[in-house]
């Protein structure tokens, strides 16, 4: 499951010291974009969100400025930062320059991102307060924002009502259409920022009237939804700056911040709504409407009252999973369906399709009680996945559909990690048992060292895909690396795209050494499908070259052949790896004898998490041909690509048992070419792949206590 890389977008990197001097400005001056730059953007002289940064800012970036503004959003609704001991590292609030009272509101809105709010006192201010702000203009990415060093109260919100009442003219939202923010792009159905309006709309308080909710995704704790005012010719995605529109920040101090008591669920697609909020160019584009990707504006509603539902199709909620693990019997699921108060329900039905049959079958409810409907999904063959959803139609013909849910029929229950990890698509996606507490009989070995890294990784096989999974939650602290455990029950969850078992019921059945690492070249895991199959496994890459010593956020990139096309990332997520490890250890082009660790997923990319410094081998001087010198060697096959035969040459430095084996990219052995004692010398063996399909294959030489792995491409 892929999940948004934009969660870091608002992290502030500017530490503001004592203010010595500042420019008196208006917010409009901060937001100003030159006519020439607007023209460049309208001409399409960019290919990505990053390219637009050169055009959308001016010379005030980095400067210390001062302006007077009115607080427009409640600081205690801010919800973008992960809290520590209940308090986030920063607070987001939107303000409007008081000059707007005489000069108009265009371009007069901006976001404050305050990483020092305990000192500035931002939480003590309320909507309607007039304040003087001194701070640094510090956009992050494409988001225009100011980092305040001081915030001084001029008038509290109860004063000067005629001028600054946020319920009056000054504080009123600007009524816009979705096309005002995101215009139709060249490709039908796609949008791009309406560049002529960017300087006026970013940070602006706006209102969409009679909008239609075009799409939503409620499968995550951060619901995504997109609105349109013109039948989806143009759209604006929402962004959850506010605690009131997300469900993952229960760790906020509820006395200091306005944490939700219940989950926020966007209305179903087709709902007619009025929506208010603040415009930003975060580029977050959950439904891939932008062209290029992520070049879109977003709206952030901040208060519950910012969303008004005026008309709604049937509302479908609480679609359940089957109890336990489906076996050889039909299973029951339930759902709640409610019609708009002015309408009645006509039909409610469940549709499903399976991994063996892609045709959708619709069935009627087996029973109903009030708004709850019960369906019986027929038994399916052992191992088959079932994807199911519910549709409801009211008496006006308006229809809603729930998001799909997935389960899997396993006649013998869950008795290997693959039963938990394997996805419907055999690639990126969720476990079929996500959000279910299920019995299981898993015999696994604790592979990781949680005392060092803080991670609990278990596997029931070394080479096979889908054989590893992470454990989380209480009760695991007694486990040590190498322990063999039997898991009898657990709750399956997806944590930012990583499958985990929580609330784990287990017993220790033995102890010993961990199972070891699966050794592959980096290009074996650049495919998302193959990478997902190895999530939660211990992986080792031998003889790699650093392609980027600083890939951002403490990560570094490397590849087996020194190319960026085949690079993967390493992450400093382990407790034992300092945040500056990469920059203090590597330089671009360094050769590293090995990098090993936990294969996982975070912020949109699969990557490796080394547990300690011992998981990174010695850094060697770069070698021209990309191999490490030695008396044992494995050459690149020739020809490559090949069809159907190729020659593999290798060297044995001293008499040794020699094994030369071929694997597919999922780690399945397809041929053993050599398996015998051989004297020192150079050898060539022919590999005939006549019976194999086209694709990437790995060949591994084990000799003299060393292991060498290369890849080859069969093209028929």
- Residues 276-316 pLDDT 10s: 999 999 999 999 999 998 999 999 999 999 999 988 899 89
In this structure, which topology does domain 315-408 adopt according to CATH? Immunoglobulin-like (2.60.40)
Within 449-495, strands assigned E span 456-459, 468-471, 484-495
Q: Which residues contact 614 (CB under 8 A, 6 or more apart)?
A: none
Contact 120, 98 (CB under 8 A): no
Residue identified by tokens 């959003």 is 73
Q: How far apart are CA 201 and CA 209, in angstroms?
A: 17
Contact 599, 606 (CB under 8 A): yes
Residues, the chain, total?
A: 716
CB count within 10 Å of CB 13 equals: 8
Q: Which residues lie across from 443 on neighbouring strands?
A: 486
Q: What is the pLDDT of residue 626?
A: 36
Bridge-based pairing of strands 109-114 and 145-155 is parallel
Residues of CATH 2.60.40.2550 domain(s) within the chain? 633-714
**DSSP 8-state symbol, 52:** H
Q: What is the pLDDT of residue 219?
A: 80
pLDDT at 95 over 60: yes
pLDDT, average across residues 26-55: 95
φ, ψ of residue 45 to 5 degrees: the values are -85, 55
Q: What is the pLDDT of residue 230?
A: 96
Bridge-based pairing of strands 372-377 and 331-338 is antiparallel
pLDDT at 113 over 70: yes
Q: How far apart are CA 138 and CA 145, in angstroms?
A: 6
Q: How far apart are CA 227 and CA 239, in angstroms?
A: 12
pLDDT at 621 over 50: no
Residues of CATH 2.40.50.140 domain(s) within the chain? 5-164, 185-246+261-311
Name the helix (H) or strand (E) containing 546: strand 538-552
Q: What is the pLDDT of residue 21?
A: 62
Sign of CA dihedral 518, 524, 525, 529: negative
Contact 47, 94 (CB under 8 A): no
pLDDT at 86 over 70: yes
Q: What is the pLDDT of residue 619?
A: 54
DSSP alpha helix (H) spans, 572-711 = 581-585
* Local confidence band at 168 (pLDDT 50, 70, 90 cut-offs): low
Q: How far apart are CA 278 and CA 302, in angstroms?
A: 8
The CATH architecture annotation of domain 518-620 reads Beta Barrel (2.40)
Flag the least confident range among 434-438, 620-624, 683-687: 620-624
Q: How far apart are CA 215 and CA 308, in angstroms?
A: 17
**DSSP 8-state symbol, 15:** P
pLDDT, average across residues 74-94: 95
pLDDT at 678 over 80: no
Contact 521, 711 (CB under 8 A): yes
Hey, what long-range contacts does 676-680 have (CB within 8 A, 24 or more apart)?
678/652, 678/703, 679/652, 679/655, 680/631, 680/652, 680/653, 680/654, 680/655
Within 156-259, strands assigned E span 174-175, 182-184, 191-193, 205-217, 224-228, 236-237
> Over the chain, what is the mean pLDDT?
90
Q: How far apart are CA 149 and CA 18, in angstroms?
A: 8
Query: Which residue from 185, 178, 389, 339 is spatially nearest to 273, judged by alpha carbons?
Result: 178
pLDDT at 149 over 80: yes
Q: What is the pLDDT of residue 159?
A: 39
One of 2.40.50.140, 1.20.120.640, 3.30.230.10, 2.60.40.1170 is the CATH number of 185-246+261-311, namely 2.40.50.140
Q: How far apart are CA 557 and CA 545, in angstroms?
A: 9
Q: What is the pLDDT of residue 18?
A: 39
pLDDT, average across residues 512-527: 95
Q: What is the pLDDT of residue 160?
A: 45
The CATH architecture annotation of domain 633-714 reads Sandwich (2.60)
Cβ burial, residue 158 (10 Å; 0-12/13-18/19+): exposed
Measured CA to CA in angstroms, residue 492 lies from 159, 232, 339, 363, 407 at distances of 53, 36, 32, 28, 12
Q: What is the pLDDT of residue 677?
A: 75
Query: Which residue from 535, 519, 524 is spatially nearest to 596, judged by alpha carbons?
Result: 519
Q: How far apart are CA 293 and CA 213, in angstroms?
A: 21
pLDDT, average across residues 498-508: 97
Q: How far apart are CA 591 and CA 568, in angstroms?
A: 15
Q: What is the pLDDT of residue 672?
A: 87
Q: How far apart are CA 66 and CA 132, in angstroms?
A: 7
Contact 496, 470 (CB under 8 A): no
Q: How far apart are CA 125 and CA 131, in angstroms?
A: 9
Contact 419, 441 (CB under 8 A): no
pLDDT, average across residues 526-533: 94
Residues of CATH 2.40.50.200 domain(s) within the chain? 518-620
Bridge-based pairing of strands 64-71 and 23-24 is parallel
Q: How far apart are CA 450 and CA 447, in angstroms?
A: 9
Q: How far apart are CA 701 and CA 521, in angstroms?
A: 13
**DSSP 8-state symbol, 39:** H
Name the helix (H) or strand (E) containing 31: helix 27-31
Output 258 or 671, whichever has higher pLDDT: 258
Q: What is the pLDDT of residue 618?
A: 67
Token digits of residue 10: 């608002």
Residue identified by tokens 């008396």 is 631
| 3-class SS of residue 343 | coil
What is the CA 300 to chain-centroid distance, rounded? 19
Residue identified by tokens 């909620």 is 317
Measured CA to CA in angstroms, residue 330 lies from 264, 408, 411, 444 at distances of 32, 12, 12, 30
Token digits of residue 306: 């910012």
**642-674 burial, b if ≥16 CB within 10 A, otherwise e?**
beeebebebbbeeebebebbbbbbebeeeeebb
Measured CA to CA in angstroms, residue 683 lies from 69, 160, 490, 574, 626 at distances of 78, 90, 51, 42, 21
Contact 92, 10 (CB under 8 A): yes
Q: What is the pLDDT of residue 653?
A: 82
Where does 5-164 sit in CATH, by number? 2.40.50.140
Cβ burial, residue 448 (10 Å; 0-12/13-18/19+): buried
pLDDT, average across residues 607-629: 64
Q: How far apart are CA 417 and CA 459, in angstroms?
A: 7
């Amino acid at each position: 499951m892929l999940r948004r890389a934009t969660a870091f977008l608002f992290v502030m990197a500017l530490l503001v010291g004592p203010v010595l001097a500042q420019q008196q400005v208006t917010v409009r001056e901060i937001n100003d974009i030159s006519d020439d730059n607007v023209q460049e953007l309208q001409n399409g002289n960019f290919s990505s969100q990053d390219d637009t940064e050169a055009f959308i800012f001016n010379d005030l970036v980095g400067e210390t400025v001062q302006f007077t503004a009115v607080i427009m959003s409640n600081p205690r609704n801010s919800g973008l930062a992960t809290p520590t001991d209940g308090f986030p590292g920063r607070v987001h609030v939107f303000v409007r320059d008081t000059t707007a009272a005489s000069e108009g509101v265009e371009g007069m809105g901006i976001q404050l991102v305050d990483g020092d709010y305990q000192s500035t006192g931002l939480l003590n201010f309320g909507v309607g307060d007039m304040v003087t702000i001194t701070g640094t203009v510090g956009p992050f990415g494409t988001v225009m924002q100011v980092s305040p060093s001081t915030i001084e109260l001029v008038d509290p919100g109860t004063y000067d009502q005629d001028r600054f009442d946020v319920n009056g003219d000054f504080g009123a939202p600007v009524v816009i259409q979705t096309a005002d923010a995101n215009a139709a792009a060249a490709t039908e159905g796609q949008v791009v920022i309406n560049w002529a309006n960017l300087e006026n709309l970013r940070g602006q308080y706006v209102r969409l009237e009679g909008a239609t909710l075009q799409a939503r995704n409620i499968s995550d704790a951060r619901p995504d939804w997109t609105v349109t005012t013109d039948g989806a010719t143009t759209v604006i995605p929402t962004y959850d700056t506010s605690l009131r529109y997300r469900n993952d920040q229960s760790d906020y101090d509820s006395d200091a911040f306005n944490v939700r008591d219940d989950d926020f669920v966007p209305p179903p697609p087709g709902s007619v709504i009025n929506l208010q909020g603040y415009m930003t160019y975060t580029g977050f584009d959950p439904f891939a409407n932008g062209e290029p990707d992520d070049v879109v504006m977003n709206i952030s509603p901040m208060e519950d009252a910012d969303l008004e539902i005026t008309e709604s199709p049937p509302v479908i909620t609480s679609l359940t999973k089957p109890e336990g693990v489906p076996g050889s019997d039909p299973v029951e699921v339930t759902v709640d369906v409610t019609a708009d108060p002015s309408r009645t329900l006509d039909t409610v039905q469940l549709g499903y399709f399976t991994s063996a049959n892609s045709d959708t079958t619709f069935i009627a409810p087996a029973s109903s009680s009030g708004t709850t409907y019960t369906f019986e999904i027929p038994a399916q063959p052992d191992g088959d996945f079932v994807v199911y959803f519910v549709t409801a139609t009211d008496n006006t013909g308006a229809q809603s559909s729930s998001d799909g849910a997935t389960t899997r029929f396993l006649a013998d229950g869950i008795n290997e990690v693959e039963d938990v990890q394997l996805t419907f698509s055999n690639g990126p996606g969720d476990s079929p048992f996500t959000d279910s507490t299920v019995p299981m009989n898993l015999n696994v070995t604790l592979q990781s060292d949680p005392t060092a890294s803080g991670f609990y990784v278990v596997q029931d096989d070394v080479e096979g895909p889908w054989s590893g999974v992470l454990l989380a939650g209480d009760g695991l602290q007694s486990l040590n690396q190498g322990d063999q455990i039997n898991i009898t029950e657990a709750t399956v969850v997806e944590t930012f795209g990583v499958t985990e078992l929580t609330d784990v019921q287990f017993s220790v059945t033995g102890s010993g050494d961990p199972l070891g690492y699966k050794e592959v070249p980096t290009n074996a895991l650049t495919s998302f499908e193959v990478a997902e199959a190895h999530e939660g496994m211990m992986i080792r890459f031998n003889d790699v070259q650093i392609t980027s010593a600083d890939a951002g956020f403490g990560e570094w990139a490397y590849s087996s052949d020194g190319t960026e096309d085949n690079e993967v990332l390493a992450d400093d997520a382990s407790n034992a790896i300092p945040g500056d490890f990469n920059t203090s250890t590597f330089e671009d082009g360094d050769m590293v004898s090995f990098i090993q660790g936990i294969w996982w997923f975070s912020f949109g990319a699969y990557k490796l998490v080394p547990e300690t410094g011992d998981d990174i081998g010695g850094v060697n001087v770069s070698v021209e041909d990309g191999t490490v010198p030695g008396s044992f060697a494995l050459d690149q096959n020739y020809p490559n690509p090949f069809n159907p035969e190729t020659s593999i040459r290798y060297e044995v430095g001293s008499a040794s048992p020699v094994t030369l084996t071929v694997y597919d990219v999922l780690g399945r052995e397809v041929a053993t070419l050599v398996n015998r004692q051989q004297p020192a010398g150079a050898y060539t063996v022919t590999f005939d792949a006549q019976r194999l399909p086209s694709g990437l294959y790995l060949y591994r030489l084990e000799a003299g206590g060393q292991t060498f792995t290369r890849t080859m491409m069969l093209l028929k």
